[in-house]
Amino acid sequence: MKLTRMVLLVAVPIFAVTVLPHYTSPATASSVPEAQQSQPPPTIASMVDRQVDIIEKQILEAAEAMPEDKFNFSPESLNIPGADYKGVRTFALQVKHIAASNFALWSPLTGDTFPKDFMGGNGPENLKTKAEIMKFLKDSFALGHKAAATLTTENMLQPTEHSKWSRLHRATFAVEHAFNHYGQMVEYLRMNGIVPPASRGKSD
């Protein structure tokens, strides 16, 4: 009799430990943020849009960090011995090139007309001031978000008009291309003693 009682005393706590974790109390459920509970599942469009968000933030912040009087800076002006910077783009042209390329790559997805003066890789020649160039850049990323929104699992592998590139390839290549030139913008900033915003507060 005593042995049976001891077995029961041991078995009950084990049963409680085994079963109770499967029960979620109302208090525990309510501790999960409401936004997280109702968050929609990711889609191709939302995932590409997130990529556009990330590079847009870094490039816009880097462009804003360069003073307007340094927008026409080129490493060529430093005359670094042994360096070959002859003919490279100025900082302003780096920014305009990113924006023009964004328009070229994303417009086939949205159906927007690609203006003729965006051709050549450096964008419109009449954009001279920092404010004008920044607006051109922001408009190009607005098109990127619009392009991302067109992607679905049904159409993402379809080629765009007059191209063998799939819609998904074109959308994500624009992001890759922008990251490439972001790296160059970072070097231009550091050559002028400016720490890129994305690196501030971290160990250089």
Each residue's pLDDT tens digit, 48-59: 999 999 999 999
How much is the pLDDT for 32?
53
Strand extents, DSSP E, the chain: none
Average pLDDT over residues 50-72: 97
Greater pLDDT, 113 or 135: 135
Each residue's pLDDT tens digit, 92-112: 999 999 999 999 999 999 999
Inform me whether the pLDDT recorded for 158 exceeds 90: yes
pLDDT band at residue 187 using 50, 70 and 90 as cut-offs: very high
Q: Calculate what percentage of the chain has a pLDDT beyond 90.
A: 66
Q: For the chain, which residues make up each domain, given as ranges?
A: 48-198
**Cβ count within 10 A of residue 138:** 13
Chain centre distance of CA 196: 16
pLDDT band at residue 17 using 50, 70 and 90 as cut-offs: very low
Return d(Cα 43, Cα 175) in angstroms, integer. Answer: 18
Angle value at C-alpha 61, between 57 and 65, nearest 5 degrees: 175
**Cβ count within 10 A of residue 106:** 26
CA nearest to 103, candidates 112, 93, 94: 112
Q: Calculate what percentage of the chain has a pLDDT beyond 70.
A: 80
Return d(Cα 56, Cα 60) in angstroms, integer. Answer: 6
pLDDT band at residue 24 using 50, 70 and 90 as cut-offs: very low
Residue 153 in tokens: 């699992």
Greater pLDDT, 31 or 39: 39
Please give the CATH topology (third level) of the domain spanning 48-198: Four Helix Bundle (Hemerythrin (Met), subunit A) (1.20.120)
